[in-house]
Amino acid sequence: MAFSYVFLRFLHHFMLHKRASEASSSSSVASEIVGSDLASSSSPIKRRRIEITDSASENSPIVASGGSSSSSVVQQRDMAFGNSNRQEIDEDLHSRQLAVYGRETMRRLFASNVLISGMHGLGAEIAKNLILAGVKSVTLHDERVVELWDLSSNFVFSEDDVGKNRADASVHKLQDLNNAVVVSSLTTSLTKEHLSGFQVVVFSDISLEKAIEFNDFCHSHQPPIAFVKADVRGLFGSVFCDFGPEFTVLDVDGEEPHTGIIASISNENQAFISCVDDERLEFQDGDLVVFSEVEGMTELNDGKPRKIKSARPYSFTLEEDTTGYGTYVKGGIVTQVKQPKLLNFKPLREALSDPGDFLFSDFSKFDRPPLLHLAFQALDRFTSEAGRFPVAGSEEDAQQLISIATAINTGQGDLKVDNVDHKLLRHFAFGAKAVLNPMAAMFGGIVGQEVVKACSGKFHPLFQFFYFDSVESLPSEPLDSSEVAPRNSRYDAQISVFGAKFQQKLEDAKVFTVGSGALGCEFLKNMALMGVSCGDQGKLTVTDDDIIEKSNLSRQFLFRDWNIGQAKSTVAASAAAAINPKFNIEALQNRVGAETENVFDDAFWENLTVVVNALDNVNARLYVDSRCLYFQKPLLESGTLGAKCNTQMVIPHLTENYGASRDPPEKQAPMCTVHSFPHNIDHCLTWARSEFEGLLEKTPAEVNAYLSSPVEYTNSMMSAGDAQARDTLERIVECLDKEKCENFQDCLTWARLRFEDYFVNRVKQLIYTFPEDAATSTGAPFWSAPKRFPRPLQYSSSDPSLLNFITATAILRAETFGIPVPEWTKDPKAAAEAIDNVIVPDFEPRKDAKIVTDEKATSLTTASVDDAAVINDLIAKLENCRHNLSPDFRMKPIQFEKMSVVILNHDVCL
């Protein structure tokens, strides 16, 4: 069990996420770097591009302090990063990245040139992430050659590369990750003049003296060149960032602006504003906000940002005198205005003696960053004087480094560390030469994200030093010098830190990895480099029932465009085995759950050493956790959500398991709110997802269930005899009778009439039943906050969003019926003409229409005493429909998660 604990601590560096899919917020110390352009013209999924010009801007409102426009800031950044006039984004490929960064950020990223100096494991990880992210160019610099030692941390090296220049050996394999990025190598001595052509320079293997020289040049350059220095030494790592004397962060957190629905506004100096208690406000004192849709006090609707104070969960005070304004009547939305932040970075020369506040990663180690700040300076002086790193296990070298650290500390004045931990410095010295893969992977993600921040101004950068250590991962028993001596092995770097016995345990480990997506690819790569399951007794089993799609290529780096349509686990296993030919890996395509316990039986679970989750849903995580709990197996749980991530280590008899604590259930909006009175985007998304699944997944699945066993199916419906059974049968009859599609024009007609029903007829019925001046039974206005009076949409084929909605809906409908989609759907003009030919009947609101307004109602369908009789009639109609179908007729249900594949195949954007 001790081995399993150390092994999981070792793996823990890969990612820093617990239930990202459930979490509403999370730390963003480390981020998954996504993005790439691996698709070629031969890709089965054609490329759809969105052109971005210099005038493009983020959707979120951003203004400079005091309410002035930030256009000058944006223009300065355009000049600094040499943005071209037009940039194209392959939205099919970069959909996830676009959702996190936005188009403007992506445009800046695509125009950035980056230098990475030092191509050991850390340099390779940084380069991989940036190439996948899609920067304009990456130049790899290194003057050293590949050693066998490097093979445990750098995934691009093989034994054939030993003796070659590290940059030259890396360039071709890294270029394969993204052909849209120019990847080149530089093998000569680096000069300051080389740096002028880059927007960001990253150094991962450089002396402090040289780093200070280069940083001084970058800091004073016009415009400044963002400078990042990163080091990984054994179980210790550091990052330093300097983005120039005046760096503007355009969007500090990357979150959407917070909003609230106004309930009342007072007419007084320092107006008091209350909002509906539907959702808590996320405002803070000093925030700027803008108002819209306010009735009565219309003076606030001028779009001017206003400062607030006394922010509370459902109210705040406006720093403005409203006594002379009109009296508030009703309505109104208040929206946070995001403000840029100016950061004044210090150059490395100054920051070394005045580091400011350190970024903490472990709040149990408040005293650790200053000590590591001292340790890395001491190591630099040691290597400068000795011309080498301390030897692993050498007490003499360790004592020399401790003496240097003590001497430096004595001269630090106010920054003097009170307690120089000799034991920690000894561990630091022993592992100083080693670049461990888990540390390189973790810091590669952090540094990659810092480069993205430097290029784009999105997210708050690291300011300025970050230190991390994981000495807890070391074996509990001291290692003698013979245990850490080199074996002329590709794992010598790991052996120098953990010892040969631990390395053998890694090689003999029996690992179960569940999932081979973005996290799964990283895990497999890391474990192949570490030598996990690479011994005669070792074996890694990976399973994933999914196939590769184009959007996966931007972050699941083991896949290429020619792998689209193939099984993820098979391709990932093959790619991981290419990294380390001794990797004993078996790929399966089984879902892990109760239905596959014949595959993953008791003997399978009992034989495992450790389980690694790389899943994307909570239910599967809970199932794997329950099996690990039952069989007492260690589990590494992890996940990502945009730029957020975290991990949980589950050690039997030591930590709580994943399922032991649950996040509180999300607040569910009442059914009547979602269907008739939505007042925020979440309500609209909930309704849309429900409609999608009902029409395109559940109903086709019910049709197939009926056609497969008509007698059993109808008997079960008659036995149920309730409103739910009636509704289900009504949907099946409607699908196979009145709304059955025989050709694509039928699908287009169906989609056009759906649009009319959703966005015109239902709204007309709603405002007919509840006019704008309607009142409740108590006499209060019916349309009061949070309800918002709706307006029906008017269809126009000149509106591309409406045209694309109907075309995409028709394509999805055609997919369920197995109807071919004609080529003319890709031509907006032809699609518009076909849609305009659809005859849309006039709508007359019904006087007897019943619209549910009770927020406690759990269903919009009411039971009836005649349900049984109606069900019998529906079954009779269903039998008639079945006789008119071919015996082999079946529908194709579409899962919501797979919708994009269907749509993107036809170059249509929802």
Catalytic residues: 672
Q: What is the Cα–Cα distance from 176 to 588, expressed in whole angstroms?
A: 26
Amino acid at 14: F
Strand segments (E) across 516-652: 539-543, 585-588, 610-613, 635-641, 644-650
Name 265's bridge partners: 273
Burial environment of residue 57 by CB neighbours within 10 A (0 to 12, 13 to 18, 19 or more): middle
**Three-state DSSP class for residue 413:** helix
Which residues lie below 8 Å from residue 110, measured CB to CB, with a gap of 6+? 87, 89, 134, 135, 136
Burial environment of residue 444 by CB neighbours within 10 A (0 to 12, 13 to 18, 19 or more): buried
> What phi and psi values does residue 630 have, to the nearest 5 degrees?
-65, -40
Q: What is the dihedral of CA 360, 364, 367, 369, to 10 degrees?
A: -30
Name 865's bridge partners: none
How many other CB atoms are found less than 10 A from the CB of residue 563? 21
C-alpha angle 483/488/490, rounded to 5°?
95
Helix boundaries (H) for 457-517: 492-498, 500-507
Q: How far is CA 705 from CA 333, 717, 737, 739, in A?
A: 47, 12, 17, 19
Q: What is the Cα–Cα distance from 790 to 777, expressed in whole angstroms?
A: 21
> What phi and psi values does residue 703 have, to the nearest 5 degrees?
-60, -45
Name 307's bridge partners: 288
Q: What is the Cα–Cα distance from 269 to 832, expressed in whole angstroms?
A: 54
Residue corresponding to tokens 């970024």: 359
DSSP line for 154-219 = -TT--GGGTTSBHHHHHHHHHHTT-TTSEEEEE-SPP-HHHHTT-SEEEESS--HHHHHHHHHHHH
Q: What is the dihedral of CA 868, 871, 876, 882, to 10 degrees?
A: -150
- Counting Cα atoms < 13 Å in the Cβ hemisphere of 194 gives 18
Q: What is the Cα–Cα distance from 654 to 640, expressed in whole angstroms?
A: 25
DSSP line for 616-647 = SSHHHHHHHHHHHHHHT--EEEEEEETTEEEE
Burial environment of residue 182 by CB neighbours within 10 A (0 to 12, 13 to 18, 19 or more): middle
Q: What is the Cα–Cα distance from 487 to 475, expressed in whole angstroms?
A: 19
- Counting Cα atoms < 13 Å in the Cβ hemisphere of 350 gives 12
Q: What is the dihedral of CA 678, 684, 687, 688, to 10 degrees?
A: 150
Question: Which among 443, 639, 646 is positioned nearest to 26, based on CA atoms?
Answer: 646
Question: Which among 528, 517, 519 is positioned nearest to 569, based on CA atoms?
Answer: 517
Q: What is the Cα–Cα distance from 756 to 775, expressed in whole angstroms?
A: 28
DSSP label of 460: P
Which residues lie below 8 Å from residue 41, measured CB to CB, with a gap of 6+? none
C-alpha angle 436/441/442, rounded to 5°?
105
DSSP label of 221: S
